[in-house]
Structure 1
Amino acid sequence: MAAMSTSSTASGAAKEAPNIDIERGAAADSHLSTTVHSLAWKGITVTVKDRETKLPKTIVDNVHGIVEAGEILALLGPSGSGKTTLLNHLATRPTPTALSTSGTLLLNGTPSPPIPTLRSITRFVEQEDSLVGALTVRETLSFTARLSSSTDTWQERVARIEGLIDAFGLREQADMLVGTGLRKGISGGQKRRVGVASQLVGTGARVLVLDEPTSGLDSVASWEVVRFLRGVARREKLIVIASIHQPSTSTFNLFDKLLLMSQGKTQFFGPVKDVAGHYESIGYRMPVHMNPAEFLLELVNTDFALDRESAVQRLGEMQVAWEGSRGAMELATAVAAAEEKGSGAVELEMVERRPSLPSVVLTLLHRSFVKSYRDVVVYGIRLAMYTGLAIMIGTVWLRLDASQESIIPFMNAIFYGSAFMSFMACAYSPAYLEDYMQFVKEKRNGLYGATAMIISNFLIGIPYLFIFSLVFSAISYWLSNLQPTPQAFFTWVLWVFLDLLAAESLVVLLTSIFPSFVISLALIAFANGLWMSVNGFMVPPTLLNVFYKYVFHFWDYQKYVFENMMVNEFSERVYSCATTETGCQCMWQTDLADQCLIRGQGVLDQYGYKPGYMGKDVGIMMGIIVGYRIAAWAVLKLKK
């Protein structure tokens, strides 16, 4: 009954759904290459190391298939059946844990076409597709189009974007935000359609590979996504391959072909309309009122069988029956015929020319700027945090006077302000994680690399971090009554700015290494705690033990910030000593003791600090900042 209800719901949705003209916008894309007629594969086998036994384990075992242009193939199977691994192989994406791979891909019947050729025409849509929530649907497509190609004119790009908006039924949502954690946007099904459309906005997509495009969607939304995929495949003569998880009957029937897998092996391949007849011919009649996908998954799934041994035996018998079936022979014949007709070379009618590095950087900067002022998580929350910190510091250390009683509070204020400004940079981690996930997707699809990512990310942060430094300093500096001269104030602003640049660069590096919010946050907090301990305030450099001094102290960016802020405050300032009945009592003995005054340099002497090294220290800070960024670039470059 549950299966009947699901099916009828989706069927009802099909009747009530708006009749969107899937042909709209075709003229905008009429120049696309149509030379990809088929994608076939034979004998695909992937072996990995088993996590538990550490022994080789075959997760895709001698799988064959063929999909023609304009067709949409469903890849169905229980969890662990090898679906995602096969999709990665078909999309020429590496499987990091693979020990060995074998088999042949045939593009237009040509065996083993060059990997760059396959990647230039293949687009992969992740199960959890990364989208920038602060952009509208139209902006998402526009930025992707700008990153994809430099061969089309602005008018062609706009026409293609508007055509895709119509083709995927997104006209009413075109100017709506995708949605952030704080601002509601489009629905889950609409996000899936935007994700697919963004992969088609370039001019070279001929093969579309999707990993669970209906995951997390209800039956109506799932049906809509697959329906639009089918329409676009028909119109543009695309090859669409999608893994699918328990689709409704109406969604299942939208597919042209089915590849059913279990334990890495093929259980069925062929037209969807033939699957019931195949299983009936080997003794497994499909119930009339049952969801076919549900029936097939129950049939080939051994994980929850009451009698696992008999279930495994039955699965083996069905696999043998498939290998001897007419469908298997027809598949082998079709693959052989495609290979026999292969032209020997694949020449695309149109080759996309990727934008230059400066063009990509400018596009990424533009996208990041839009995100920065729409998504409060990116910089708005941090501005509020730094403003709150400035008010707290300014009111706790309120209007300290130039007396010896204020010297230690001044030092505490300098340490606390500089250290916590960098510590609170950890709030940038969530925003960078979104950028990182977007980068991973776009890098895999060949849009740009680590160089453009790191440069654009660094440049977009500069004006915002300077604003943070200025706001923080304007509030805390004058309230605390630090060295009251314009030159000292702007020197302070400079060091706060460099502090934030270094702290954010550290966030980028650690989050790139460990792209998990909890792990990166813990590491950022630990690193800042270490820098606080060895920056010279807790233990003066003259007393710091050799290990921490030479291993950490000299490349601790907080060390240079604290030292130069101390020099800025004390090197040219004089403080009054305490006067008692017995006379003048100076906590620091300097050459002004006879005047009952303390020269600020006397305070610096206990740390070993002297003025005159600011230029050198700024250079070291820039080296640390650039070093963090280069290290992050290397991480992004080397990651698969």
Structure 2
Amino acid sequence: METTKPESQHGTLADVEALADAHLLNDTVQTLSFDSLTVTVPVKGSKEEKKILDNVSGIIRAGEMVALMGPSGSGKTTMLNLLAGRTHKIATSGKIFVNGGELSKTKFRKISSYVEQEDHLIGSLTARETLDFSARLALSNSITAAERKRRIDALLASFGLVGNQTTLVGTPIRRGLSGGQKRRLGVASSLITCPKILFLDEPTSGLDSAASYEVMSYLKNVCKSNKLIVICSIHQPSTSTFNLFDSLYLLSQGKMCYSGSLPETREYFASIGHEIPHFYNPAEYLLDIINVDFAQDKQAASEQLQVIQSKWNSSEKLSAIKDQIVEAQNGKTDVVLEAQGKTTQILIPVVLLHRSFVKSYRDVFAYGVRIAMYMGLAIMMGTVWLRLSTHQESIQPFINAIFFGSAFMSFMAVAYIPAFLEDRATFIKERNNGLYGPTSFIIANFFIGVPYLFLIAILFSVVSYWLSNFYPSGTAFLYWVMWLFLDLLAAESLVVFVSSLFPIFVVSLALTAFLNGLWMSVGGFLVSPRILNVFWKYWARYIDYQSYVFQGMMVNEFSRRNYECGEGCHCMYSTPLEDKCMIDGDGVLAVYGYKTGKNGEWAGILVAIIVGYRLLSWLVLKIKRT
């Protein structure tokens, strides 16, 4: 039974008019055509090449919603990415035309938008806030707040989200929008960038048939009303969803089996001996007859597929399409871009900072969990190393406490990985749609963390420093906070770098933990710098931010204090104060080879390491496109 939706749930005529009045979209793009598109990739282990897209041609007109279908490995995702200008480092040939002419990648990106298969929405924002931040990132700051609000209201109405505009998208611990509503919001946030061509990768993935129909019917409504070109790669839709499309492009093994009007599909396949049965899902039937991978008789299925592709290549329909492509080129018209431009690069980090701030106080996984973890660690440390005395027996516990406080605070920065990976996924989506680049992202990401990390350093120190009875002075306390703050900044910068390089949670976690283990090993506590193996000493230790923090905290404590010797004036460390039954703290530092008066130098090196990690993160994001 086909799924139907009441008309009242779609955007009303007034909503459509509001969308048009808001000038979100216009009809300056009449056609998107492509001729003889071919993509080849090298075959591993040989000098041969494989065609994953072979001589594909077609033409799509404004107001059409196109289904790009085919079995797994048919080339539909490659075709979608090629049309969207998202192919990198692969050999391609053929031409893509807009209104019969070729466009530069920069200009094409300004008139198109791409909706990923994954939503990549920030779960701690509401539906309205998601659209608002998308508008502020995409549109010029010359657009007034009232105009921006009008555009957002129009999209909320057109996609049936007015009643859910204050609902959170949803986080792992807070329920929010349904799957279908999230998908509609993802499409709406892409439309606010004023595209004329919209690409969607598996927009119904993970949705049931009712939700799939809901999403696609809303999209069809907006597509028709605003003369959009909408191209969707889709896998085996329900009959009701399939019938929403205007055109079908059917691929198998990189070759076209059919392209053209959806209503003419049944007639065409009947003419070549494959009549679609009545009361049968046409999408399912078409995929069955062109799918070789799961056929019981693969040879027969392969021969059948070759016949279907051969008949299409010699069909009158393909000849007509070729003629239409030539006709579009002969009647080439310019693509008119809106004069508003993009948001200035200076303003973008401010918008990103605002968005990150909203996320930071709503999403407990961003900093809330970490603050709780660090406070628990502070209480544990303060009560384990409780009120250490100034007797020589407390010297080693003081050293142990310094190592524990600095090293484990650094290690626990791995808790930031999930939050950063969510931010990174959002950045990749928005960067690919031309909103901003890695510079703005890295700047905003750094500055949003500074106040929270400083707060963590203060809270941790207030509890652990005084409970453990480190040197009781305001100056010494502030130096301790400074070292801890720089330690946290460096640790989070390491997380950002590793997670940018390997954006998979388990891999990032494992590598960050390994590096922290390495820094602990060569930092100066477990093995004295005086006897550390030269292989590790002359490279790892000099780039180990934990070693500078440990040195700074050691000097902060031991350069200020003297310690009482044991009974009979037996001193564990030989210092000039030995005849007074005391140990000069500088003698403890001498055992480790630490000198005083180098706080500025060590702090400068830590700042350089932090900047270095951030620059490496920027470089990785600059190079990596996914």
- Which TM-score tier does this pair reach, normalised by the shorter chain? over 0.9
Tell me which of 66, 73, 76 is aligned to 1:80. Answer: 73
Give 1:230-629 correspondences, 5 Å limit.
Answer: 230-343=220-333, 346-579=334-567, 583-629=568-614
Deviation at 1:272, TM superposition (A): 0.6
Deviation digits for residues 561-581 of structure 1, max 9, x if unmatched? 0001000110010111111xx
What CA distance in whole angstroms lies between the structure 2 residues aligned with 1:460 and 1:54?
Answer: 49
What CA distance in whole angstroms lies between the structure 1 residues aligned with 2:33 and 2:518?
Answer: 56
Tell me which of 103, 107, 116 is aligned to 2:98. Answer: 107
**Partner SS, residue 169 of structure 1:** coil
What CA distance in whole angstroms lies between the structure 1 residues aligned with 2:313 and 2:576?
Answer: 98
1:217 corresponding residue in structure 2:
207
What CA distance in whole angstroms lies between the structure 2 residues aligned with 1:601 and 1:420?
Answer: 26
Contact 1:22 1:166 in 2 (8 A): no
Distance 1:425 1:349, change over 3 A: closer
Matched, 1:71 2:64: yes
Range with bigger deviation, 112-121 or 365-374: 112-121
Contact 1:48 1:59 in 2 (8 A): yes
**Partner SS, residue 332 of structure 2:** coil
Distance 1:227 1:637, change over 3 A: same
Tell me which of 167, 171, 184 is aligned to 1:193. Answer: 184
Contact 1:60 1:86 in 2 (8 A): yes
Q: Which amino acid aligns with 1:459?
A: F
Q: Which amino acid aligns with 2:203?
A: P
**Partner SS, residue 113 of structure 2:** strand
What CA distance in whole angstroms lies between the structure 2 residues aligned with 1:575 and 1:255?
Answer: 82
**Partner SS, residue 52 of structure 2:** strand
Contact 1:9 1:220 in 2 (8 A): no
What CA distance in whole angstroms lies between the structure 2 residues aligned with 1:632 and 1:507?
Answer: 10
Deviation at 1:22, TM superposition (A): 5.3
1:4 corresponding residue in structure 2:
none
Deviation at 1:29, TM superposition (A): 2.3
Deviation digits for residues 333-369 of structure 1, max 9, x if unmatched? 22222122113xx241414422222200000000000
Deviation at 1:41, TM superposition (A): 0.6
Segments of 5+ residues of structure 2 without an aligned counterpart are none
**Partner SS, residue 575 of structure 2:** coil
Deviation at 1:55, TM superposition (A): 2.9
Deviation at 1:62, TM superposition (A): 0.7
Contact 1:454 1:633 in 2 (8 A): yes
What CA distance in whole angstroms lies between the structure 2 residues aligned with 1:22 and 1:551?
Answer: 68
Q: Which amino acid aligns with 1:318?
A: I
What CA distance in whole angstroms lies between the structure 1 residues aligned with 2:181 and 2:503?
Answer: 26
What CA distance in whole angstroms lies between the structure 2 residues aligned with 1:448 and 1:549?
Answer: 41
Kindly tell me the number of residue pairs found equivalent between the two proteins. Answer: 622
What CA distance in whole angstroms lies between the structure 2 residues aligned with 1:503 and 1:372?
Answer: 18
Distance 1:91 1:616, change over 3 A: same
Tell me which of 1, 5, 15 is aligned to 1:14. Answer: 5
Contact 2:10 2:158 in 1 (8 A): no
Q: Which amino acid aligns with 2:604?
A: G
Matched, 1:631 2:616: yes
Name the TM-score, length of structure 1 as normaliser.
0.95
What CA distance in whole angstroms lies between the structure 2 residues aligned with 1:452 and 1:30?
Answer: 28
Name the TM-score, length of structure 2 as normaliser.
0.97
What CA distance in whole angstroms lies between the structure 1 residues aligned with 2:78 and 2:340?
Answer: 28
Deviation at 1:237, TM superposition (A): 1.1
What CA distance in whole angstroms lies between the structure 2 residues aligned with 1:538 and 1:55?
Answer: 54
Q: Matched residues, percent identical?
A: 53
**Partner SS, residue 57 of structure 1:** strand
What CA distance in whole angstroms lies between the structure 2 residues aligned with 1:557 and 1:115?
Answer: 42
What CA distance in whole angstroms lies between the structure 1 residues aligned with 2:419 and 2:340?
Answer: 31
Tell me which of 150, 170, 193 is aligned to 1:159. Answer: 150
Deviation digits for residues 616-635 of structure 1, max 9, x if unmatched? 11111101100110111111
Deviation digits for residues 461-497 of structure 1, max 9, x if unmatched? 0000000000111111111111111111111000000
Deviation digits for residues 478-536 of structure 1, max 9, x if unmatched? 11111111111111000000000000000000110000100011110010000001111
Contact 1:22 1:168 in 2 (8 A): no
Deviation at 1:19, TM superposition (A): 4.8
Distance 1:399 1:28, change over 3 A: farther
Alignment RMSD: 1.3
Matched, 1:173 2:158: no
What CA distance in whole angstroms lies between the structure 1 residues aligned with 2:24 and 2:32?
Answer: 21
**Partner SS, residue 532 of structure 2:** coil
Contact 2:10 2:160 in 1 (8 A): no
1:44 corresponding residue in structure 2:
37
